[in-house]
Amino acid sequence: MSASPPTPGEAGTLDELWPTPSTSIDISARLAGDDRTPPDGRPWVTMVMISSLDGAIAIDGVSGGLGGPADHARFVAARRQMDAIVVGARTATAENYRPAAVPIAVITGSLSLDPTARLFSDPARQPLLYTTTQAAQDRGDQFDGIAEVIPLGDSLEPLAVLVDLRRRGLLTVALEGGPTLNGQFLGADLVDEALLSVSPLAVGGTGSRLASGPALGPDHRFCLDRVLRGGDLLFVRYLRDRA
């Protein structure tokens, strides 16, 4: 008896709709084949986000309710391709981040993270905490032995974070939000790729968009590279068009 064909989104398989229509592709293998050549002096940046059909990025303050097995498979596969994860302090807290296979860099001006949080639970996989020099002086000692605190002066510039990550030999990073951090990276034109999931849910409300920050010029375009489907979710890959 032959096995029934996998349901889209199960066991890491998705259907590719464009540019090469095919069914039951392995999402990890597909992402592994993508070119991510880092620009000079900094890692390649891939923004990884999910939104509802009507543009919401969270339900009751977290993103988990928007996805499903297919989005989880895509999220895990995207992380596997990256050398590091960059995330804003509010997302790391709201989503109760845990140590990952690759370094997690948290951007936090205030350095007011909870040192008992799950993120700090593995001394062998300590997060990098990028913060201001003042906050590092005031609160840095709370993280002795559980995180590396990296002061970057009076203000935190996304490029300075990326330059430090590159200096550590990290060539690709997943920018996992939230909207405040995304807005700053987009504003500085530091997003090279966007992996976006569109959920079939309409959520309503007045919640944030994928990015919240300075208005961008009319030429801040990305070009469509790929469209996948897993169940009723769509997965699109866009690449920054700087031509």
Binding site for ligand NAP (CB under 6 A): 49-51, 57-58, 61-63, 88-91, 94-95, 107-110, 112, 156, 176-181, 184
Rounded (10°) CA dihedral 28, 172, 228, 98 = 70
Closest approach of ligand NAP to the CB of residue 52, in Å = 8
Task: Decide whether 24 or 212 has the Cβ nearer to ligand NAP.
Answer: 212
Closest approach of ligand NAP to the CB of residue 4, in Å = 31
Closest approach of ligand NAP to the CB of residue 18, in Å = 22
Closest approach of ligand NAP to the CB of residue 92, in Å = 7
Task: Decide whether 24 or 188 has the Cβ nearer to ligand NAP.
Answer: 188
Task: Decide whether 58 or 234 has the Cβ nearer to ligand NAP.
Answer: 58
Closest approach of ligand NAP to the CB of residue 175, in Å = 9
- 142: Cα separation from own chain's centroid: 26
Nearest to 49 by CA among 213, 216, 174: 174
Report phi then psi at 225, rounded to 5.
Answer: -110, -30
Task: Decide whether 24 or 187 has the Cβ nearer to ligand NAP.
Answer: 187
Distance CA 141, CA 163 (A): 24
C-beta atoms surrounding 86 within 10 Å: 28
| Residue number of the CB atom closest to ligand NAP | 178
CA distances (Å), origin 163, targets 61, 148, 159, 194, 214 = 31, 16, 6, 20, 22
